[in-house]
Structure 1
Amino acid sequence: MSTSNQPSSGSAAATAASPATAALDEDIVLALVQDSPVAFDQAGSLAKLGVLTRQAAQKARDSLSRPNPDAKVVVVFPEAFLCAYPRGLDFGAKIGSRTPEGRSWFARYHASSIPVSDVEGAQMSAIRAAARDNNITLVVGVIERCDGPETGPKRETYGSKNPGGSGTLYCTALTISPRGDLLSAHRKLTPTATERLVWGFGDGAGVRVVDTPAGRLGCVICWENYMPLHRMALYAKGVEIYCAPTADSRETWTSSMKHIAAEGRCFVVSCNQFNTRSDFPDDYPAYEGAKPDEIVTRGGSVIAGPLGETLAGPLWDERGILTAVVRRSQLTEAKMDFDPTGHYSRPDVFRLVVDDGAKEAVSFS
């Protein structure tokens, strides 16, 4: 399934625009993929990422009113797409006790995760190739492990300089450029509830906004979106395309994403998985007795515009690709009457300090 929306017609005509304004009026396609990985299967999930990225890039370009193979495209995948959001799994843990079976499942989960710091290794090369081969900016949620070598760029150039330990996993959102460069690896700052058992905590070095051909892009994962200061940090860093990979399939999530788009005067792309029981291993203990086609995660992926309007979705109870054609000039138009880091910021009253790992904390006022 694919949904496309054209931008508003209020922007100045490109024929009369200056070069800077012409860039603002250039069509950008935001796309997301609501699907499931081959859970706990690294090779299978990486192969599926490649296929779905190609399909999404094609749908994105097909959504344009005029063919443009060089169109600026962003494709977003869900939280933990590589290689599983372990929904329903308790890893055999209770307060004061753990089971051997649970530890075995954790080892299996660890083996299917992605060694992000090995940027030139086989797994990261496959992810980078998905962006490069399709000439798109790619955002994908991964489970990051840290026991591999550090190849290519230094950790601090794209995320936290914390090596992370040999056994700890992180829920991470990667941003890859159309050239295949790793721009950002944002580790989820605070895993939610029992996620804290299997995922470590990120730090401020991952709270970043990066330049992409489509605009300034940042990632906030799932319930990090309920952290007001985290959102404000991205607004202050100039986010234009706010990506929210998630595992939340409640209907209330849509209203949160529309609120953030209106609050930040940015485009919001929120992407969730769609899973059935058959998307998990046959021996997965969380859904014993469930029918293969029983829905485990409903989806609810959505794209919202800077006035809080719905541009595509939400998509429920099926796999699919959503697209929205937008222009950066819409962001300026939306800030005419509300700019969260400009005339509505009241720096005489409020001040935000972000420790992003630099020598001195960054202050926004």
Structure 2
Amino acid sequence: MNNTLKVGLIQIAPVWLDRVKTTDKIIDYLHQAGKQGCQLVAMGEGLLPGYPFWIELTHGARFNAQDQKEFHAHYCQQAVQIERGDLDGICKVLKQHNMACYLGIIERPLDRGGHSLYCSIVYISEQGVIKSVHRKLQPTYEERLTWSPGDGHGLVTHSLGAFTVGGLNCWENWMPLARTALYAQGEDLHVANWPGSVRNTHDITPMMAKEGRSFVISVGGLMRPEDFPKNSPHFDALMKDCPPDFLTDGGSCLCAPDGSFMIEPQVGEEGIYTATIDHTRVFEERQNFDPVGHYSRPDVLQLSLDQSRLSNLKIK
């Protein structure tokens, strides 16, 4: 088995709240990554079709406000329904290039009635098959005004060459037990996806790498004032308090299992940032610390994980 893997961090902005155009942009970058020989690519949180920036920009906590209802309705209509085939084109391109992917989406799943939204990270194999959909366990702060809490069904890992890969959304990377659930399933290559902020990725990426003695990819998106389409709902209200440069600035980076940066945080530019990682480094760093192996005490400390998919309906 080849111990190396070429990874690509795709740092881009969405065509905000336009599922079809953002999908087309993602596919274009996937083709570019495939031509560069990437075997695994990752993209930011909620990239398809975009992060709910209107909540902060337009006082989203005003209860029963008509503009907030209109924003949310538009978001729902542009969200991803996997059951409908919204990711089929992306899966096809990944299969064409024999390339796996972690993709951040806003999901509107039918198994929860089809009217609520979840921030999900989707793992698609190099055969173009969706292997897991992890719905964010706990939306952060104002995100709770539009995203629903997820479950443990997608807290799983996947084999990719010599590596075992797993992923978490944004601030759930700060949740020690969520990280531990993946470590315990053999994770040695972790993907953390973010809306995009170097103030987050610069600190937590080396910390997670040192803790897990794993390679850690942090990948973020970009959002600039010009990335809001002029036909966005309440466009003038969005622009009124919009920062002049960035709402999110990327910050994508890669750390080795000793916490050192292999790709320094990338700020302010769209692009594909690549590196080749060697699984041997994992064994080297776990010589003196393995969080779920020789340095663990399961007789004293254990974690219970419920991987069931939550639903309001049980059909017997």
TM-score relative to the length of structure 2:
0.90
Question: Which residue number corresponds to residue 14 of structure 2?
Answer: 37
Cα 1:278/1:165, change in 2 over 3 Å:
same
**Secondary structure at the counterpart of residue 45 of structure 2:** coil
Partner of 2:301: 350
Q: Among residues 74, 77, 80, which one is paired with 1:111 in the alignment?
A: 77
The root-mean-square deviation of aligned C-alpha atoms, in Å, is: 1.9
Instruction: Choose which of 172, 189, 194 in structure 2 pairs with 1:241.
Output: 189
Query: Does structure 2 retain, via aligned residues, the 8 Å contact 1:78–1:272?
Result: yes
For 2:182 and 2:242, locate their aligned partners in 1 and report how far apart those are by CA, in whole Å: 41
Partner of 1:318: 269
CA distance in 1: counterparts of 2:225 and 2:263, whole angstroms: 27
Name the count of aligned residue pairs.
304
The Cα of 1:234 is off from its aligned counterpart by 0.5
What is residue 239 of structure 2 aligned with on the other side?
287
Match of 1:52 in 2: 29
Q: In structure 2, list runs of 5 or more residues that go unmatched.
A: 310-316
User: After superposition, where does 1:4-43 map in structure 2 within 5 Å?
Assistant: 23=1, 25=3, 27-43=4-20
The equivalent residue for 2:280 is 329
Equivalent residue, structure 1, for 2:100: 137
Q: Measure how far apart 1:229 and its partner are.
A: 0.6
Query: Which residue, 59, 81, 84 being the options, matches 2:50?
Result: 84
Residue 259 of structure 1 is matched in structure 2 by 207
- The Cα shift of 1:204 comes to 1.2
Partner of 1:126: 89
1:94 aligned to which of 56, 61, 64: 61
CA spacing shift, 1:113–1:142, aligned 2, 3 Å: same
Q: Residues 185-229 of structure 1: CA distance to partner in whole angstroms, max 9, x if unpaired?
A: 110000000101111111111111122336221111100011001
Preserved contact between residue 134 and residue 152 of structure 2 (Cα < 8 Å): no
**Change in CA separation of 1:323 and 1:349 when aligned onto 2, cut-off 3 Å:** same
How far did 1:290 drift? Answer: 5.2
Post-superposition CA distance 1:74-115 (Å, at most 9, x none): 0001001100112243576436x2211111111111111110
Given residue 345 of structure 1, which amino acid in structure 2 is its aligned partner? Answer: S
Letter in 1 for 2:238: A
Question: Displacement of 1:179 after TM fit?
Answer: 1.1
Give 1:146-225 correspondences, 5 Å limit.
146-147=109-110, 163-213=111-161, 215-225=163-173
Shift of 1:248: 4.7
Equivalent pair of 2:42/2:191 in contact (CA under 8 Å): yes
TM-score, normalising length: structure 1: 0.79
Contact 1:265 1:307 in 2 (8 A): yes
Is the Cα–Cα contact under 8 Å of residues 30 and 75 in structure 1 kept in the other structure?
Answer: yes
Return 5+ residue gaps in structure 1 as ranges: 1-22, 62-71, 148-162, 359-365
Corresponding residue for residue 303 of structure 1: 254
* C-alpha deviation, 1:117, in angstroms: 2.9
Deviations 1:245-296 (A, max 9, x none): 11251424322111101111111111111121111122433332758x7322
